[in-house]
Structure 1
């Protein structure tokens, strides 16, 4: 009983530690006072004022654009890397390849950002691309960073899959690409969605890599917030953060809802197929039973 109470207490404490700052942030985004830490009543003027702050809104839209591109590219590259690591058991350099895939997980972001900056500078001198650093270079940096997380998540899911389902489909005449699209992808869809949302959140939150590889006119929201916080937190920052929190929460809920519905539909279809197969087997006559006269 005491152990149960202690576990519940730790759970409540952990939830408060994680979500209490978010709740306080949302509440103070409606603060009418110019001073962020002094409550001056309820007001929505900071949300209305965001429409006039073109610099801040530009950085928000730029960060969302980069995060969307990063999520798509990271899911594609991370999934391919996961298939190589899980489905190709033996090839030369497999350990080295696995180390390269997971290296961004343990590599300090300062080292990664500096190495990518030197790479872009060297490429600009050798081949003339990129001519200037901006959204493209930030997208490449975030993709290399987030693809490692997607590879780890998808690899864990692929190792748990029942390969007999794919083998049965190929035995029935399905081509490998059709098995991949109609069977493998639906079964790993939750991990793909989780990797995509993780990549989106990591890209939206990144400050270090973007600071190294960004250029004029490509300031992201974390960079804008960091520059503003050094001079003091402005009420508009709370409003922007609340809107971003709302958008991410809504996107997470939608991904969870559609993924769960797809999983339930898949389980229902499998159960229906099993029941139909059992019914057909019951209707077929037993060849061992002798025909009656």
Structure 2
């Protein structure tokens, strides 16, 4: 497949659909130099974007946390997403919405004189972790940690917060792993580089408390599914030494959906019944 900059199709950019190869920004775009951008990753199933409005609402909140005001309403953002899907003839696709500070009068750390811009792109994207959907992903343990919330707006889905995630995922891939699990600044289990994490022990589910990382939309969806089934879910701080006692593990995220984990570092997990049931139930939910 061609690179993401060299494809046929349409991208919505600042109020209009443009040719894919023409969706460009200036080299002095503030976001390129200072990471002043926020984004959403969404999936469209059978012509409907799952939790679409929730994603748009979070985009607005993320921008506000970065002191940015997106010049489009939620209704306009929603219309832009579906315009992209229609223009490209897609009913099943991954949708990427991004807002950023563009080029303008400012080219230092301050950027209030620069316009906030918005774009929507989409493309076909299969299983984020490939065949791990069946046999379970293999995760490294990252050396980088999710920072103290006093140092970053951890509730924002902001591009700059993913720098250490990229580095951690590269290191994991070098070891033959699909991804990496990260600890937080206190040493508690946090998340993978782009997905939240769940564990199973004695029929109950344990997942890290999202007080230093993004509380994912898919994460909340899966917690609701588990609770509807009468399964106890513990949102709490999880110590690294507890990994040895967990029986099952899975990841959640818009891209990851529900992906089983077979190994984290030296710890192994079965792709058990509950993991498969939740994965299948999620697949049914998003296509309902």
**TM-score with structure 1 length normalisation?**
0.24
Whose relative contact order is higher, 1 or 2, with alpha carbons under 8 Å and at least 6 apart? Answer: 1
Normalized per residue, the structure richer in strand is 2
Greater fraction helix: 1
